[in-house]
Chain A
Amino acid sequence: MSAPLLTVEDLNVSFPGRGGITRAVRNASFTLGRERLGIVGESGSGKSTTGRALLGLISHPGVVTAKTMRFGSDDLLACTESDWQQLRGRRMSMVMQDPKYSLNPVRKIGQQIGETCRLHLGSSRKDAEQRTLAMLEAVKIRNPDMVYHLYPHQLSGGMGQRAMIAMMLVAEPDFLIADEPTSALDVTVQNEVLRILDDLVRDRGMGLIFISHNLTIVSSFCDRVLIMYGGKIVEECAAKDLHKARHPYTRALIAAAPSLDVQRAELATVTRDPEWLL
């Protein structure tokens, strides 16, 4: 693989609070090429915080430090707020869990996506409309002309998430973070949305960070997986080898999930070892 798209070394995110400092991410190091990288963990593992830190979205009083945080030729650690605004949307983007909260409820879908084009690509009104329609088609929305003129509440969950993906990808970013993009969707819709994401990532040669709590989805969708626990990356492995994972936490997580394939009288529970955080 050529030079990685993203290089992160010793990323730390901490939030000062009344009871002392909470370290949400501890010394996380990883790289991302033009591939699908999964980050798995339970709530509080720091997986979403890691994603937000990569987009410069940790707001006061959170503190982000790292030895290295490079995106292509840009040093993310030296970015000012206006640099971030240049990067976000244009070169890096994020799809979130619930389209209900990420789309503006009082503006039409087409207008919102078109605005992204005009803002980041400097497209003309007409060009923006064409790109928007093409993008809606690319996310397999059956009649883009109709959806263009709809408001977010008129779309189903799966459609909304597609529109969201369309909006995030219309400026053709190099790198996309998807934070639980399918958790609010039904299983059958989930796979359709994943397929769309998969095609777009492959066709456009993007790097994707896929954040999820669902081991099954991550192991079947991604190329590589990072397992986070308490802010630390405890294990990194190829997605297809996840069942061979060595870290006791990863193993316990796999054994704790009830599965159709294995029948267990009792599910394994996770016995947490404080040494995992050392």
Chain B
Amino acid sequence: MITVKDLSVTFQNSGRSIHAVRGVSFDVAPGETFGIVGESGSGKSTVLKAIAGIIASSSSALEVDGRSAAKRRSREERRLMQFVFQDPYASLHPRQTVDDILREPLIIHGIANLDEKVSAAIADVGLSPQHRFRYPHQLSGGQRQRVAIARALILRPPILLLDEPTSALDVSVQAEILNLLSKLRRSYSLTSILVSHDLGVVAHLCNRIAIMQLGRVVEVVRAGDLRVGAVSQAYTRELIAASRGFTRAVT
């Protein structure tokens, strides 16, 4: 479904070039959930944004749904994939109601039956009709993230890109959102890429996981192997150990 080959991203910062992503390659099969895990500065979110086409990148191949993804995406190409951002407080327009926010993609793509589609999308993500005309500031963090997911899925894209969708949420809300994502993934047979710093979250939701460090993919492992620690790289082991909590013993 998605093929990434030798993806590199370079930022220019006051005359210096910073190589945020260096030669990253992987494939995502249809219906698969692919995880990318790493610490801050590892380039994990940058990879996701490059695939989404919202930042410039270079690669020997970037294919989506069998077609090469152009640098400038057409409206139709945009419809193939949608994005869910990390911060539910920054990803919704502060002066638009939930209804406005969900209507917008439908209007852009000239889709009919707006009302019906919007109320279906609201029900789909577990919000009630009374949330429909609220402004983002009248919603909780979890409800906002549900709106963001509804907005991403209202165009029925085959691919969903998730950038730390639960890291700004409380554990109990995170559980609800992760359950919702699993449910939606099944009902719409979505292919998705999930970026997170939390090994527990990726292992829960993903089939395969790429571990990134300093702009490179260190290794790609199956979720089951990650759980039992069947990994080949020292860095991955370090991450696993760290995610199990604090160890008092001196290493």
In the complex, residue of chain B having the shortest beta-carbon distance to the beta carbon of A190: B242
Instruction: Evaluate contact between B243 and A267: CB separation under 8 angstroms.
Output: no
Q: State in angstroms the CA–CA spacing of A267 and B174 once bound together.
A: 9
Instruction: Evaluate contact between A264 and B172: CB separation under 8 angstroms.
Output: no
Q: State in angstroms the CA–CA spacing of A114 and B248 once bound together.
A: 30
Contact indicator per residue, chain B 169-187, by CB within 8 Å of chain A (1) or not (0)? 0111111101100100000
Q: State in angstroms the CA–CA spacing of A216 and B243 once bound together.
A: 8
Contact indicator per residue, chain A 240-276, by CB within 8 Å of chain B (1) or not (0)? 0000000000001100111111011011111000000
With contact pairs A42-B171, A188-B239 given, residues A267 and B204 touching in the complex (Cβ less than 8 Å): yes
With contact pairs A186-B39, A186-B40, A257-B200 given, residues A270 and B175 touching in the complex (Cβ less than 8 Å): yes
Selected from A42, A256, A260, A266, the residue in CB contact (under 8 A) with B227 is A260
Instruction: Evaluate contact between B182 and A269: CB separation under 8 angstroms.
Output: no
| Residues of B contacting A: mostly | helix
Instruction: Evaluate contact between A216 and B171: CB separation under 8 angstroms.
Output: no
Selected from A187, A198, A253, the residue in CB contact (under 8 A) with B242 is A187
B238 interfacial by beta-carbon distance below 8 Å? yes
Q: State in angstroms the CA–CA spacing of A188 and B240 once bound together.
A: 10
Number of A-B contacts (CB under 8 A): 90
A97 interfacial by beta-carbon distance below 8 Å? no
Q: State in angstroms the CA–CA spacing of A154 and B172 once bound together.
A: 36
Selected from A187, A198, A260, the residue in CB contact (under 8 A) with B248 is A198
Instruction: Evaluate contact between A257 and B171: CB separation under 8 angstroms.
Output: yes
Q: From residue B90, how far is it (CB to closest CB) to chain A in Å?
A: 17
Contact indicator per residue, chain B 13-34, by CB within 8 Å of chain A (1) or not (0)? 0000000000000000000000
A residues at B contact (CB < 8 Å): 42-43, 157, 186-191, 194-195, 198, 213, 215-217, 219-221, 252-253, 256-261, 263-264, 266-270
